[in-house]
Structure 1
Amino acid sequence: MQPTFSIRFSPLQGYTDAIYRQAHARFFGGVECYYSPFVRVEHGEIRRKDVRDIEPENNEGFRLVPQLIAPDLEKAERVLELFVSRGYREADLNLGCPFPLLAKRHNGAGMLPYPEEVENLLTTLCQKFPQMRLSVKLRLGWEQADECLALLPLLNRLPLSDLILHPRLGKQQYKGEVDMEAFSAFYEGCEKPLFYNGDLLTIADISRVRERFPRLAGVVVGRGLLANPALGLEYARGSELPEAEKREKIRLMHSDVFCRYAELLQGGDRQLLMKMKSFWEYLLPEGDRKAHKAIHKASRLDAYQAAVSTLLRF
């Protein structure tokens, strides 16, 4: 009997917020759950926008797994207490963020070269929050691909719900190739449900990973779903959506996101315009280049909307 295999939506700061998640779930779906962009303590406080983003009333109609990032136990506990207070019983700890400003303070992948810190953090969190299903997202390491292997006995021993591995080094960020041999070494020794993350852009990409690693619990997809919001739905169906149907769904999703941001943002047309331009940064990379360029050059909302209409007609 083939094991259950699921597709989950990886978070991306500045893109996959609650408004985006609601619209994606409404018009596309096809994913088992969404992860929130990581919640963190900054200047002694949990960022208000992070709290707003994971409020249950802003995430109705789909399963949200809130994610946290923290360099130490005190900050991690504060964020987990927030999640518990909002009724969550699962959370994901980010040990994979590759951004240098955070990593140099031992956030995300920057903690991977320090196994004692990881052990103290994870062991204590599992003890103090037994009611939480805690998962961990990580990279191969920061400098060396075997840093994740050094942590594997700990990860296998702790009562973690699952693991997500992106097979790049933190210092690579998103450059270079994924290291499938290093992923394979981790996969062979992993006793937890394991999800693959990294460079999954098509149905064929997902199928190749699943065929090579048949015990995978699933895949976690970020940029691939931002580029093609229908990817999860297409994989479940086993075929691509007709192009006209996909474009219409994107049009409806865009309209929904546009209207929600227009209600939320208080900075006028300019703020709304800047926010909506980011909506297209990954979306439809194969679309008309002139229309994409017109979207990013638009200085008025009417010019922006005209450019969007042109892009969606091609």
Structure 2
Amino acid sequence: MQSTLPIHFAPLQGYTEAIYRQAHARIFGGVESYYTPFVRVEHGEIRKKDMREITLENNRGVQLIPQLIAPDVDKMELIIALFIEKGYKNVDINLGCPFPLLAKRHNGSGMLPYPEEVRELLTAAIKNHPDLQFSVKMRLGWENPEESLALLPLLNELPLTHIIMHPRLGKQQYKGEVDLKGFEAFYNECRHPLIYNGDLLTVEDIQTISERFPRLAGIMIGRGLLANPALALEYQQGHPLSEKDMQERLRLFHADVFAQYGNLLEGGDKQLLTKMKNFWEYLMPDGDRKAKKAIHKSNKLETYQAAVRSLLG
């Protein structure tokens, strides 16, 4: 029987924040490492929220890898300085974000068609910071899969710890099918440990990918874990949670996140309600539709909590 691969929790802006990560690690687990949503420079400085999100005291019990996104070396250096100040030794560089406003400024997957810019960014990171370890999260390209293949000679010669590949194009964003043939072409020539990321919603999905690509170093999951927070645990232990166990963990998970955001947010009930509705956007896609609709329509915390109790039984 094939041994299980390590599962890494993909970063999703607005969802996998420090409060969520800590609660998930405590109540579900099964995840080897959590990646932060990318830290970026805006108007010449790093957002205070991003600084708070990556502090070690806000991520207790979590193996955390901070991620940055930058269109040039100067912005990257500003973010790396923050990571060093916070005590991190591992840094992930985002070459995969498909958000058009960022991509058109050569951030994320928007940089993939420009190999010289990628070379400048990555070689500067490695040369300037020999004490840090760098990985790259990327897509097959912005316009076509040939872009990632054109970058492989550069990537293969750099001392990266690993590469995470989401086999879509940037211009697709999250639409359409993943391109497994494009992934396979990259996989066959990649000399670094390679982690697969994209459209893994069930244990069977993970097993299918790991059997097709037996040299994978790991699996990264984002939306699949937001939908079923037990997915990594169920894969690692080889069987699903009982319905009773799952319901109890979901109750604890929700209560923990609700309480922590209640302590953090200063905008009162309305801000907390908005944040908690976000919590349910992916979670339990097969849950009772009436209760989920009531959650999203609620305009008071009392009606929200009643709808949650109805959903979780």
Normalising by structure 1, we get a TM-score of 0.98
Contact residue 32 and residue 63 of structure 2 kept, 8 A? yes
SS where residue 278 of structure 1 aligns?
Answer: helix
Distance 2:2 2:74 in 1: 41
After TM superposition, list the pairs within 5 Å mapping 1:65-144 onto structure 2: 65-144=65-144
After superposition, the Cα gap between the structure-2 partners of 1:2 and 1:286, relative to the gap in structure 1 and judged at 3 Å, is closer
Distance 1:206 1:111 in 2: 29
| More moved, 237-246 vs 188-197 | 237-246
Distance 1:3 1:223 in 2: 24
SS where residue 207 of structure 1 aligns?
Answer: helix
Residue in 2 aligned with 1:61?
61
SS where residue 122 of structure 1 aligns?
Answer: helix
Runs of 4+ in 1 over 2 A off after TM superposition: 1-5
- Say whether residues 1:145 and 2:115 are aligned partners: no
Residue in 2 aligned with 1:12?
12
SS where residue 143 of structure 1 aligns?
Answer: coil
Residue in 1 aligned with 2:154?
154
Distance 1:283 1:4 in 2: 24
Residue in 1 aligned with 2:238?
238
Residue in 1 aligned with 2:192?
192
* TM-aligned CA deviation for residue 233 of structure 1: 0.3
Distance 2:22 2:3 in 1: 29
* TM-aligned CA deviation for residue 145 of structure 1: 1.1
* TM-aligned CA deviation for residue 5 of structure 1: 2.2
Q: Which amino acid counterpart does residue 214 of structure 1 have in structure 2?
A: P
Distance 1:266 1:119 in 2: 43
- Say whether residues 1:34 and 2:34 are aligned partners: yes
* TM-aligned CA deviation for residue 62 of structure 1: 1.8
SS where residue 239 of structure 2 aligns?
Answer: coil
Contact residue 4 and residue 235 of structure 2 kept, 8 A? no
Residue in 2 aligned with 1:219?
219
Q: Which amino acid counterpart does residue 189 of structure 2 have in structure 1?
A: G
SS where residue 284 of structure 1 aligns?
Answer: coil
| More moved, 22-31 vs 239-248 | 239-248
Q: Which amino acid counterpart does residue 100 of structure 2 have in structure 1?
A: P
The one-character-per-residue Cα deviations of 1:166-210 (angstroms, maximum 9, x if unpaired) are 000000000000000000000000000000000000000000000
Distance 1:24 1:61 in 2: 10
SS where residue 8 of structure 1 aligns?
Answer: strand
Q: Which amino acid counterpart does residue 245 of structure 1 have in structure 2?
A: D
SS where residue 91 of structure 1 aligns?
Answer: strand
Distance 1:85 1:262 in 2: 28
- Say whether residues 1:264 and 2:249 are aligned partners: no
Q: Which amino acid counterpart does residue 305 of structure 1 have in structure 2?
A: Q
The one-character-per-residue Cα deviations of 1:219-278 (angstroms, maximum 9, x if unpaired) are 100000000000000000111111121111011010011011111111110010000000
Residue in 2 aligned with 1:183?
183
Between the aligned residues of both structures, percent identity stands at 66
Q: Which amino acid counterpart does residue 102 of structure 1 have in structure 2?
A: L
Q: Which amino acid counterpart does residue 254 of structure 2 have in structure 1?
A: H
Contact residue 95 and residue 111 of structure 1 kept, 8 A? yes
SS where residue 135 of structure 2 aligns?
Answer: strand
Q: Which amino acid counterpart does residue 45 of structure 2 have in structure 1?
A: E
Contact residue 8 and residue 33 of structure 1 kept, 8 A? yes
Distance 1:226 1:272 in 2: 19
The one-character-per-residue Cα deviations of 1:4-30 (angstroms, maximum 9, x if unpaired) are 721000010000000000000010000
* TM-aligned CA deviation for residue 216 of structure 1: 0.1
Contact residue 15 and residue 278 of structure 1 kept, 8 A? yes
* TM-aligned CA deviation for residue 159 of structure 1: 0.6
How many residues of Structure 1 are paired with residues of Structure 2 in the alignment? 313
Distance 1:287 1:244 in 2: 15
SS where residue 167 of structure 1 aligns?
Answer: strand
Contact residue 4 and residue 217 of structure 1 kept, 8 A? no
Give structure 1 stretches of 5+ with no counterpart: none
Distance 2:61 2:255 in 1: 19
The one-character-per-residue Cα deviations of 1:19-78 (angstroms, maximum 9, x if unpaired) are 000000010000000000000100000111000000011111121000000000000011
Q: Which amino acid counterpart does residue 120 of structure 1 have in structure 2?
A: E
